[in-house]
Amino acid sequence: MRIALFDSGYGGLTVLSHARRVLPSEEFIFYADRDHVPYGTKSVPAVRGFVRTAFRFLIEQQRADAVVVACNTATSVAVDEMRRLYDVPIIGMEPAVKKALTRDADHRVLVTATPITVHGEKLKRLISSCDPNGLVDLLALPQLVEFAERQEFVSSAVEAYLRDAFAPYRFADYSAIVLGCTHFNYFKDTMRQLLPQNVRLVDGNEGTVEELARRTGLRTQPIGAQTAHCTFFESGRPVVRAEELAHMEADLARAARMEEIV
């Protein structure tokens, strides 16, 4: 099966990293819309336009059998329209609020995401469906997307940004931080250092890939040595230069390491 994963940039590689190891026999296409990243600080109509262009490319030109929108921001504002337009399975991503509250319904949960996701109706609806006791707080961390796109994953600037953003919260009251943007997974090591052990780092990557398997009738495998083949595109252009491919592979390797951190 030909499966497309789509993100504004390199954040979606953290989903691909998991997907290509648990579905090693499938054919993947990864589309990073690097001409337009970041999405999360742009206008909603602009992001909808970018997503339409990406879907036209992935479904009409690349003939993808299924599309994973490995981007919470694009899911928030554009997935419903894409599902109306196209017949193939379209798997979106929403911050894993339910997962966090299911694990601990007594403590607070801090949901981090981009500004579009944080202010979007979709997240408001999700929270009102699963948080009757008002335990969820929201925090936008747009700068992490910029850091990730330039592969600045561990630095004093990243640490200072996160330290500052986390400063207002009394983390003894929290059980989890939800990583509601795929780019944020690259920063789990720094977050782990800054947060007390009672705060777990919760993301939706594994759940999204399970949903992909369920919707397409595929069976996920235990992680082994084999990884699925993937062709990479940046805003519709094939990625062929060795240094660009090496950049993707380095991000994928980091994503696999970050997956171990909870």
Binding residues for substrate, by number, are 7-8, 39-40, 72-73, 182-183
What CA–CA distance (Å, rounded) separates 148 from 183? 6
Q: Which residue, 44, 39, 71, is CA-closest to 58? A: 71
Closest contact distance (angstroms) between CB of 219 and ligand DGL is 26
Tokens 């993947």 sit on residue: 28
Total residues binding ligand DGL (CB under 6 A): 17
Closest contact distance (angstroms) between CB of 237 and ligand DGL is 18
Which tokens is 46 given?
Answer: 């602009």
For residues 56 to 95, the per-residue mask of contacts with ligand DGL, x marking binding by CB under 6 A and - elsewhere, is ---------------xxx----------------------
**Identified binder of ligand DGL from the candidate list 17, 114, 190, 227, rule CB under 6 A:** 114
Select 51 or 145, whichever has its Cβ closest to ligand DGL: 145
Select 12 or 89, whichever has its Cβ closest to ligand DGL: 12
Residue 145 found at the interface with ligand DGL (CB under 6 A)? yes
Residue 188 found at the interface with ligand DGL (CB under 6 A)? no
Tokens 């600080």 sit on residue: 41
Select 89 or 204, whichever has its Cβ closest to ligand DGL: 204
Q: Which residue, 61, 17, 16, 11, is CA-closest to 33? A: 11
Residues annotated as catalytic are 71, 181
Is the distance from CB of 145 to CB of 40 less than 8 angstroms? yes
Closest contact distance (angstroms) between CB of 164 and ligand DGL is 19
Part in contact with ligand DGL (CB under 6 A); list of ranges 31-39, 50-58, 227-235, 245-253: 31-39
Is the distance from CB of 19 to CB of 218 less than 8 angstroms? no
Select 17 or 72, whichever has its Cβ closest to ligand DGL: 72
Residue 11 found at the interface with ligand DGL (CB under 6 A)? yes
Closest contact distance (angstroms) between CB of 105 and ligand DGL is 25
Is the distance from CB of 232 to CB of 245 less than 8 angstroms? yes
Residue 32 found at the interface with ligand DGL (CB under 6 A)? no
C-alpha distances (whole Å) from 246 to each of 94, 160, 191, 256 are 29, 28, 26, 15
Closest contact distance (angstroms) between CB of 183 and ligand DGL is 4
Non-local (6+) Cβ contacts of 28 within 8 A are: 3, 4, 5, 16, 19, 20, 228, 229, 230, 231
Is the distance from CB of 96 to CB of 202 less than 8 angstroms? yes
Part in contact with ligand DGL (CB under 6 A); list of ranges 21-29, 32-40, 190-198, 215-223: 32-40
